[in-house]
Amino acid sequence: MKRKSSSKKVRGKLKETKEWLKSNRSKDIHMIMDRFKRSLIGYYNYYCITDNTQNVNNFKDKIEYLLFKWLNRRSQRKSFTWDKFILFLNKYPLPSPRIKVNIYELRKEINYIL
């Protein structure tokens, strides 16, 4: 049985992120990126288990798109093209997901103990 994030929870988190960005897009870019780094690390710590990395990668891609969209709405002219945004992410990288809990390793440890 494969484990994956609840689509309802993912949609809720994306909606919450969108609302936060909408209300805080005019703040300092360092503060926005710091908040997203901390938020993504917490998300990864909770959802990065075996068999769920694809869903977590999709979540990160959607977060990057939201950032691109809302940072472009900071002024009447677009701040970023997609290429400029990629350079921006290279300068202020978001953390990448890694498996935090491998359920197959846990199963081996339990069998070893028994």
Structure token digits, residue 25: 């897009």
Query: Tens of pLDDT along 74-83?
Result: 877 777 889 9
10-14, 93-97, 103-107: which range is least confident on average? 103-107
Output the pLDDT for position 1: 57
Output DSSP code: residue 26. Answer: T
What residue spans of 25-102 are helical by DSSP H? 29-47, 53-71, 82-91
Has residue 113 got a pLDDT over 70?
Answer: no
Phi, psi (deg, nearest 5) at residue 46: -90, -40
Q: pLDDT band at residue 60, thresholds of 50, 70 and 90? A: very high
